[in-house]
Amino acid sequence: MRIGIDAMGGDNAPDVEVQGAIAACEFLGDDDRIVLVGDKAAIEPHLARAGEAADKMEIHHASERIGMDETPVEALRAKPDNSIGVMSQMHRRGEIDACISAGNTGACVAAAQMYLRRLPGVHRPGIAIVTPTYYGPVAICDVGANVNCRPQHLYQYGVMASVYVSAICGVENPRIALLSIGEEDAKGNELVKRTQQLFRGDPHLRFVGNAEGRDLFRGSCEVLVCDGFVGNVVLKLMEGMAEGVLRAMMEEMLTSVPEEAQKIKHAAGGIMSKYDFNEYGGAPMLGVGGIWIICHGASDHRGIKNAVRVAAGFAKCRVNEQITELLGEQGRADE
Amino acid sequence: MRIGIDAMGGDNAPDVEVQGAIAACEFLGDDDRIVLVGDKAAIEPHLARAGEAADKMEIHHASERIGMDETPVEALRAKPDNSIGVMSQMHRRGEIDACISAGNTGACVAAAQMYLRRLPGVHRPGIAIVTPTYYGPVAICDVGANVNCRPQHLYQYGVMASVYVSAICGVENPRIALLSIGEEDAKGNELVKRTQQLFRGDPHLRFVGNAEGRDLFRGSCEVLVCDGFVGNVVLKLMEGMAEGVLRAMMEEMLTSVPEEAQKIKHAAGGIMSKYDFNEYGGAPMLGVGGIWIICHGASDHRGIKNAVRVAAGFAKCRVNEQITELLGEQGRADE
């Protein structure tokens, strides 16, 4: 397997990307390779210090970089040699089998659709993140690919995320819930109410109805479906809140039990790592005709390393083939 | 001041409501009264045990109750003697100066609009909650009154919540942010982009642009504007997450430092109370022609007690008069 990594994407590129690629070599088989896509002159010095791992890595030059603030489609057009677009085209030509980027998410989504198209029957790709909870992993989809969702998009997110969480996390027959503002079917906005009807009309999915924000932590589902605007707000709120609550808790603890400062900091670190986006790696873009893993812009080398693990698992478990198969049944690809 | 409390609203009514009302008597002046609205036979036994506080309380009989699962407008019509509707009509007739309920939120919003109308120039009422953060209070509006928002609604939420947070929390010239999925103006859905233009066109408000979920905990604004669907998801997510993260943290701590179990539990309790909805009391419905405070359905007596404090503060600070004044300026009431 050949895995492409956008070396110019994240907030600390290319440092973090190259370090992550080196660390990821432990996951690779004899024939596997990592292809770093980006400015050759900037990458080479880092690679020179990689030792044996360098044998498993290649550089594919791309001279341009899309910034976090740029408008995706415009930037892809104005910078034809940008690393995200170049990497997507390599994937289309079969030169690599997966793409990983910590860069501009909108540009990744646009490039993936532009160059890899969508899987047969898929209306819109959706990004799925897997959140750890006390009761086990929950996949939330979409967390930012699509802010103008129609009911059919949300319904397919449920189907695709079910395949993913079952293939990758080993959850059998996952329970799908729709994020709303009350458990009763009558609550929610128009989008939620119409999506519900689609889920209720598909007896082969394990749809458990509406869920509220707090249900995410109460073990009531393994797949939580929402539009990309709401999902992205939720994702970032969780990030900020874990940070905020833990900091407050640690300060309170240190004041109460100052003699155990070391142990308290250690325990806080343990929890923090559970909510650390770097630990769970990357979020797959479900529904595109290839493997596309998106990392947090502030990823460190562990985030990139774990994204390589996710990409390899995605290929091994044949997630795309399963999505295509499941969408092909029961008219799930209809408009 | 005469404050109405829906005695039949919450999950543990009328127990919690009467206990809360008794506890709230400490906030009342000599001429202030609390009017408990609901089933007289169910309320009286509780009141009999109230001691001196009973002198400050009256009962206004209402024979019907709207359940949490009922469809608001239909229930208000089908049950003409329901406590929420009866209380709202008393407010309209001037028999009470404020309404408090832990009942069906949708029914409260519908009854408030039906019987009290909106303040001049207000397009839609919005519910504002004040969240404690490390950097100070942040008012989030709307958290559930209006799930079909137009840009003008969100813009007015910014104006109204600014008045509230400045009057009640003493924040001078609060910074208003719009909840979105990236700080750049180009990010977000159509609603956010069009709302932005309204805020940008009003130089007299202190609009600081888009904020992401994590910014809520980073001290970047005192007012966070969003539509009622997103706001309600955020509210409940925060509730579930504070619970989930704290429980995980406490278990980790107890394992690491078992000999300090008491102190750890005490510290956790201290933090938990900061995120406890009962501590901050009730959320005002901004924009209606009266004072309407909504409590969490699972409120305990402290939640009701603190809602009385909020209602009294709302009246004292003349929040509605200030909202009307500010909306009347600069064409802020235009369609």
pLDDT score at A311 = 96
Nearest-CA distance A266 → chain B (Å): 8
For A107, half-sphere exposure in the C-beta direction (CA atoms, 13 angstrom radius) is 33
Tell whether A261 lies on the interface with B, counting CB pairs under 8 A: no
Average pLDDT over residues A163-185: 92
| Residue B61 shares a structural domain with residue B145 | no
B88 shares its domain with B35? yes
Domain that holds residue B114: 1-122+287-318
Mean predicted confidence (pLDDT) in B176-183: 93
Q: What percent of chain A has pLDDT over 90?
A: 71
Nearest CB to B217 within list A186, A217, A240: A240
Does residue B298 belong to any structural domain of this protein?
yes
Please tell me the pTM assigned to this model.
Answer: 0.92
Task: Please give, rounded to a whole number of angstroms, the shortest distance from the CA of B224 to a CA of chain A.
Answer: 12
Shared-domain flag, residues B275 and B132: yes
CATH number of the domain bearing residue B215: 3.40.718.10
User: What is the complex's ipTM, to 2 decimals?
Assistant: 0.90
Q: Are residues B101 and B148 in the same domain?
A: no
**Cβ-defined contact of B253 to A267 (cutoff 8 Å):** yes
DSSP string, A102-159: -S-HHHHHHHIIIII-B-TT-SS-EEEEEE--TT--EEEE-SSS-SS--HHHHHHHHH
Judged by CB atoms closer than 8 Å, whether chains meet at A190 and B270 is answered as: no
Residue B264 pLDDT class (50, 70, 90 cuts): confident
Q: In this complex, do B241 and A217 lie within 8 Å of one another by their Cβ atoms?
A: yes
Cα distance from A147 to chain B (closest Cα, Å)?
A: 6
Q: Are residues B49 and B33 in the same domain?
A: yes
Select the more confidently predicted residue: A59 or B269: A59
Residues B17-76: tens digit of each pLDDT: 999 999 999 989 999 999 999 999 999 999 988 888 899 999 999 999 999 989 999 999
- Calculate mean pLDDT across residues B296-325: 94
- pLDDT mean over A43-54: 90
pLDDT at B319: 97
Q: How many CB atoms lie within 10 A of CB A209?
A: 17
With a CB-CB cutoff of 8 Å, which residues 237-256 of chain B face chain A?
237-249, 252-253, 255-256
Out of B230, B240, B243, the one facing A233 most closely (by C-beta) is B230
Q: What is the pLDDT of residue B179?
A: 97
B252, B254, B273, B277: best to mutate for the A interface, most A CBs within 10 A: B252
Q: What pLDDT was estimated at residue A185?
A: 81
Cβ contact, residue pair B234, A232, below 8 Å = no
pLDDT tens digits for A51-82?
888 999 999 999 999 999 899 999 999 999 99
Q: What is the distance in angstroms between the Cα of A173 and the nearest Cα belonging to chain B?
A: 25
Do residues B210 and B300 both lie within one domain? no
| Shared domain check, B138 and B32 | no
Question: Averaged over A321-335, what is the pLDDT?
Answer: 86
Q: Which pLDDT score is estimated for B118?
A: 97
- Chain A: give the shortest CA distance to residue B62, in Å: 26
Task: For B119-155, write each residue's pLDDT tens digit.
Answer: 999 999 999 999 888 788 999 999 999 999 999 999 9
Whether residue B324 is contained in a domain is answered as: no
For the stretch A116-149, pLDDT in tens is 999 999 999 999 999 888 788 899 999 999 999 9
Q: Looking at the complex, does the CB of residue B217 fall below 8 Å from at least one CB of chain A? A: yes
Q: How far is CA B217 from CA A132, A247, B59, B176, B179, in A?
A: 21, 11, 42, 14, 13
Residues B261, B179 within the same domain: yes
- Give residue B319's identity as a one-letter amino acid code: V
Q: Which of B192, B235, B248 comes nearest A271 by C-beta? A: B248
Q: What is the pLDDT of residue B17?
A: 96
What number of residues does chain A have? Answer: 335
Across the interface, do A147 and B266 touch by the CB < 8 Å criterion? Answer: no
Of A213, A243, A264, the CB nearest to B237: A213
- Residue numbers of A between 54 and 83 with CB closer than 8 Å to B: 69, 71
pLDDT at B193 over 90: yes
Confidence band, pLDDT 50/70/90 cuts, at residue B298: confident
What distance, in Å, lies between the first and last C-alpha atoms of chain A?
A: 35
Confidence (pLDDT) at A184: 81
Contact across the interface for A233 and B213, Cβ inside 8 Å:
yes
In a domain, B86, yes or no: yes
Q: Provide, rounded to the nearest whole percent, the portion of chain B with pLDDT above 70.
A: 99
- Tell me if A98 is assigned to some domain: yes
The pLDDT of residue A335 is 63
Q: Is residue A63 part of a domain?
A: yes
Average pLDDT, chain B: 92
Please tell me whether residues B68 and B88 are part of one structural domain: yes
**Are A160 and A272 in the same domain?**
yes
The answer to the question of residue A315 being in a domain is: yes
A22–B contact, CB cutoff 8 A: no
Q: Do B234 and A236 touch (CB under 8 A)?
A: no
B148: nearest CA in chain A? A189
Q: Which residue has the higher pLDDT, A42 or A187?
A: A42
Asked if the Cβ–Cβ distance from B240 to A234 is below 8 Å, we say no
Please list every residue in chain B whose beta carbon sits closer than 8 Å to the beta carbon of residue A187. 106
Mean pLDDT over the full length of chain A: 92
Query: Does residue A93 share a domain with residue A140?
Result: no
Least confident of A84-88, B70-74, B158-162, B183-187: B183-187
CB contact under 8 A, A270 and B264: no
Task: Encode pLDDT of A203-250 as tens digits.
Answer: 999 999 999 988 888 899 999 999 999 999 999 998 888 777 777 777
B335 pLDDT exceeds 70?
no
SS (H, E, C) chain B: CEEEEECCCCCCCCHHHHHHHHHHHHHCCCCCEEEEEECHHHHHHHHHCCHHHHHHEEEEECCECCCCCCCHHHHHHHCCCEHHHHHHHHHHCCCCCEEEECCCHHHHHHHHHHHHCECCCCCCCEEEEEECCCCCCEEEECCCCCCCCCHHHHHHHHHHHHHHHHHHHCCCCCCEEEECCCCCCCCCCHHHHHHHHHHHCCCCCCEEEEECHHHHHCCCCCEEECCHHHHHHHHHHHHHHHHHHHHHHHHHHHHHCHHHHHHHHHHHHHHHHHCCHHHHCCEEEECECCCEEECCCCCCHHHHHHHHHHHHHHHHCCHHHHHHHHHHCCCCCCC
Residues B294, B208 share a domain? no
Asked if residue B26 belongs to a domain, the reply is yes
Type and span of the H or E element at A56: none
Confirm if A205 and A159 have CB atoms less than 8 A apart. yes
Contact B241 A244 (CB under 8 A): no
The token pair at B109 is 């919003």
Residue A65 lies in a domain: yes
How many interchain CB pairs under 8 A, A with B? 187
Number of folded domains that form chain A: 2
